[in-house]
């Protein structure tokens, strides 16, 4: 990462596609970001993470990816690039495509105002799927008192 200005709170990293990232770029569905061990991030601040894509002289503008704080030093963020009009129309192997990752250290209240809690919803997806499957299978229960659930083979 390189400093963007002299404040010491804004940094950027430029990645090339193809090269640093796979093609097509829309295939990148998630990014993992983390603070390195022993990173000194004050409890009163957080790091906002942004992305911008430039291809064939056109830029997307910086868009918020997510944030990290001292209490949440790592996260997996959805890029949603496959659903982004400008990104999904980039032809594979376009030679001049770059992704700029921007970091901005902000006061914690600013971070909390900007970031949505959509990442929390993903934590329980597998549990909800398993619960739905259990309820579906339970609908075939014959009511026997053996405590075992017998599911007919034609269910799957």
pLDDT given for residue 33 in this prediction = 92
Q: What is the CA radius of gyration of the chain?
A: 22
Sign of CA dihedral 54, 83, 128, 111: positive
Distance CA 49, CA 51 (A): 7
pTM: 0.69
Q: Under a CB-based contact definition with an 8 Å cutoff, are residues 73 and 34 in contact? A: yes
Question: Which letter does DSSP use for residue 39 in this model?
Answer: -
∠ CA 91-96-101, rounded to 5°: 100
pLDDT < 50 stretches in the chain? none
What's the pLDDT tens digit per position in 78-115? 888 888 888 878 877 677 788 999 999 999 988 888 76
Proportion of the chain in helix, strand, coil states, percent, rounded to 5:
25, 35, 40
Residues 6+ away with beta carbon under 8 Å from 39: 73
What is the number of residues in the chain?
156
d(CA 93, CA 134): 45
pLDDT at position 148, please?
Answer: 76
Q: Please tell me the distance from the alpha carbon of residue 119 to that of residue 2, in angstroms, as a whole number.
A: 28
């Amino acid at each position: 990462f390189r400093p963007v200005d002299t404040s010491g709170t804004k940094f950027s990293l430029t990645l090339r596609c193809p090269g640093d990232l796979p093609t097509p770029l829309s295939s990148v569905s998630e990014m993992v970001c983390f603070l390195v061990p022993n990173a000194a991030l004050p409890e009163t601040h957080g790091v906002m993470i942004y992305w911008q894509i430039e291809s064939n002289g056109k830029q997307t503008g910086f868009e918020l990816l997510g944030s990290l704080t001292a209490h949440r030093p790592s996260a997996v963020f959805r890029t949603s690039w496959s659903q982004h009009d400008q990104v999904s129309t980039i032809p594979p192997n376009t030679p001049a495509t770059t992704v700029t990752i921007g970091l901005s250290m902000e006061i914690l209240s600013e971070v909390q105002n900007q970031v949505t809690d959509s990442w929390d919803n993903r934590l329980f997806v597998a549990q909800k799927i398993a619960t739905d499957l259990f309820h579906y299978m339970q609908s075939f229960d014959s009511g026997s008192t053996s405590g075992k659930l017998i599911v007919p083979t034609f269910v799957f």
